[in-house]
Amino acid sequence: MNKGNLIGRGMTAEVYEWGQDKALKLYTKNVSKSWATYEARIGTAIHEAGVASPEVFDTVEVDGRNGIIFQRIFGRSMLDNVKMEPWNIYHYIKQLARLQFGIHQHKASGGLPSQVEKYAVRIKRSHALPEDKMEKIIAYVKTLPDSDSICHGDLHFNNIIVSGSKLVPIDWTNACGNPLGDVARTCLILISPVKPRGIGEIPVMVSQPIKWLACLVYIGEYIRLSKARLEDIDAWILPTAAAKLRDKLPGEKKWLLDIINTRLNQLNSRELWDPSGFRAR
């Protein structure tokens, strides 16, 4: 079968129509077959655990590039909804928290990568930290609890498809362990100074005060549902920021390093994180 029209594009892959009800995720040529096989395995485990996600059908090679055949999820991204209805930003933020909490109630029978170990690997590979700081953060993350809950690992508006009345997360390559680490990463994504791709200059999406308020709404809703403690989410901010350096998003490095340095200075304290400026309270 030949690939159809291009329907999506990311940093490492393009997505094409594949027949009437399937989609081909076709990686760039520098992405190995082993990575495609890994993503297919994780995607299958997530789907079989009962989490709303695209079914995985096969791995393929097309035009000399590795790819995966997925169930096609028809709809539009939650980011598109926010762009169309920016006045409803806090409604969508609460939907995000509820969706994430629901995902965290599932467990994968085949197991997922350890979040602690995955963060340690990403921190080592970021090449943005001096050796002494890197070792201290890795030692710290290994003191945090791991979990066998399903976590998306990169949940944000552009990784959620609104399909009728359902919300379907896509791109599960970062799936791993601890729900509170998952929440910490979403917090950092929400308040990042980086402007999400394709949003233009919508004030509600680029204003830092609004981002910080959205983050507080998100954390509040997740804590309401999960009964988690803020200080336990806060404990994941340092390693999550260090692991996020690996994303290498333009405009984010200095911001993340500021968070990391502040957190390292506070490592032996019990001060809480303040999203409006990472000040100790």
What is the tens place of the pLDDT at every residue in 182-216?
999 999 999 999 876 655 555 555 578 888 999 99
- Per cent of the chain over pLDDT 70 is 90
What is the tens place of the pLDDT at every residue in 2-31?
899 999 888 889 999 999 999 999 999 999
CB 205 within 8 A of CB 199: yes
Say what the pTM is.
0.88
What is the tens place of the pLDDT at every residue in 246-280?
999 988 999 999 999 999 998 866 544 454 444 43
Give CA–CA dist 218/260, Å, rounded: 22
Q: Which residue has the tokens 């076709």?
A: 26
CB 240 within 8 A of CB 119: yes
